[in-house]
Structures are given as structure tokens and as C-alpha cells.
Chain A
Amino acid sequence: MMEDLSFHVLDLAENAVNAGATRIIILINENAARDVLTIRVADNGRGIPADAAAKAFDPFFTTQRKRTGLGLALLAQAARQCGGEVALAARPGGGTRVAARFGYRHIDRQPLTKMTETMMMLLLGHPEIDFHYRHRRNGRSFSFVSHEFFLRSGRASSGTAALSGAVRRALRSGLRRIGAS
């Protein structure tokens, strides 16, 4: 069990990285009025062959050289326990899309939390990938496109510390503006 839902965002995005994606779209929508929270991650990586897609939620199925593939199985469990579900759409060679829906006010829904830390990790861990992150929260919205940001901040930054600080400040202030963290 992951501690919070933002860990699943991280895990899905890392899957996309491992699928050779050059662009990863992360959409989060928190809608208290409709009692729904959705997490959608779409990438342009190599996709999943049909036979593997059928087994993608099996915790003991993985395409990598290891014994378990827990990521999607844990996500499905987290969604089901609060009345939600997970949909996987993948075409071999055509990218992968994962959409997870959670009951917003359900007592067993884990908190989202720590999106700043999650996005920091992705953006700084994989700067060559263009991340499009959009977070909507009860009508307010925050967007962050990593290559646009790097275009602006690259000019001014002298190194890792400066760039890391600039990304952290941008995410913190943007998420605070919509009431998220």
C-alpha cells in the first residue's frame, strides 16, 4: 500500500519514463462538488502489447527483469477501496493512458498530498522529458510545462541548486494558489 495518492502519480510517470516516453501528461482533477478525484497519466512511449495489457493489473506480472509488478495492482486497490476504478488504454507503439478515479469524500480515499515533491522528483530526475502537469482543484487550475519552464529559467540559472530552487518555488506557489500542496 502506498501512503498517499501522489505516490501513484510518481509510479505511473516512472512507468512512462521506462516506456521510453518523451512527453508525459499528468492531469489531476479534484472536484468536491461531484465527489470525484481523477488522476490521468498519458505518455507517448512504446505502449503495451495486447497480451501484456490484459495482465497489467496482476501483481505477479511484469515486463521487466524482476519478479513482481505491483504498481498498477496497488493503484487499482487504492481506487476500488473508495468506490473508484482504473482504466488502462494502451496500443503497442502508440503510447499509454491510465485513468484512475476515486471517491473524493470516501472515508477510505487516501489523501493526494505532496505534489510539489512528486513533480520535483520527475522534473529534475528526467529533464529531457517534457512534462505537462495540470492540476485542477474545485474550479481553480494550475499548469506547469517543464520544457517551457526550462526555457525561461535555463537562461538565468547557474547550476543545479539554482534550477532546483526555481522549480520548487514555481510549484509551491502555483499549488498553494489552488489550495493544494
Chain B
Amino acid sequence: MTKLTIHDLAKIRDRTKAMTILREGAGRAKVTVHMGTCGIAAGARAIMDELLADIEKRGLQDVVVTTSGCAGLCNQEPMVTVEIQGRPPVKYVRVTPEVMKTIVADHVVGGTIVSAHALAVGSETMY
């Protein structure tokens, strides 16, 4: 086996840093966009795009963005789950890009649940 050099270690550190930012970040908030075939067909990509664009615009460095599969509520897609550290996750249903914008402003940044679009508070289950 070849020996790891300092240069190799630096490479690993840099790559891991990018992944840590995206996976754990400073971890203040985590937003999950549901991305089964149902979510994709219902417009999840536009939701994700709005979410990332808002994060870039607002310079939010401590928000983790991730995707998940079908949660079994295909008729409620697009769905988004927001978790603020130390609080239970909130699931939003039938999200539009406009609603996503409001969720980022009020919930991710402001900490207030957008109750008009929230389905439930609590962890994800599958039937």
C-alpha cells in the first residue's frame, strides 16, 4: 500500500470540508425536499432550485439541504421538511416556489412555522 502524503491528506481534508458543509454544515437548520418520481413530477426540482437560490441570495451558510425518496403521500407533493436544530421537524405539503420563499424567510431564517402550509410536526413515517 502506498503511503499517504501530506498532500493526500490535504486533498481529503478539502473534499471532506465541502461534504461536511453540505451534509452537516454548522447544522442550524436542515431542509429536505422529497424527490420520488411523484415529487419530481409534481415540481420538486423547481422547489429545490428556489430553495438553493434563496440560500445563495441570503448568504445562508449554515443550512443543510438534502433530498429524500417518496414518503407515501404522493398526492401531497411537492413536500418539504424543515428541521431547526433542537426542534421537531415540520413537514410542508403542496409547496410552490412562492411558498418555498416564504418558508425560507419565516421558518428557516425567522424560526416561525408557516402554519398555512404545514401538514404535521414530527418525524417521517412510511405506510
Spell out A's residues near B (CB within 8 Å): 2, 7, 10-11, 14, 18, 64-66, 69-71, 74, 114, 117-118, 120-121, 124-128, 147, 150-155, 157-165, 168
Contacts and interface: CB of A to CB of B under 8 A. Distances in A.
B109 to A, nearest CB: 12
11 contacts: A10-B45, A11-B40, A14-B67, A64-B69, A66-B72, A70-B38, A74-B37, A125-B66, A150-B14, A159-B25, A160-B22
B36 A14 contact: yes
Given A159-B61, A160-B63, A18 B69 contact: yes
B49 A121 contact: yes
Nearest to B72: A66
A125 B122 CA distance: 22
Interface residues of B, number: 42
A57 B62 CA distance: 41
A85 B69 CA distance: 26
Given A161-B56, A162-B61, A154 B16 contact: yes
B69 A158 contact: no
A114 to B, nearest CB: 7
B95 interface: no
B60 A153 contact: no
B48 interface: yes
Interface residue SS majority, chain B: helix
Given A66-B70, A127-B23, A160-B25, A7 B45 contact: yes
A157 B21 contact: yes
B52 A7 contact: no
A71 B49 contact: no
B60 A159 contact: yes
Most chain B C-beta atoms within 10 Å of own C-beta, residue among A114, A125, A160? A160
A152 B60 CA distance: 21
B55 interface: yes
A164 B112 CA distance: 25
A160 B52 CA distance: 9
B120 interface: no
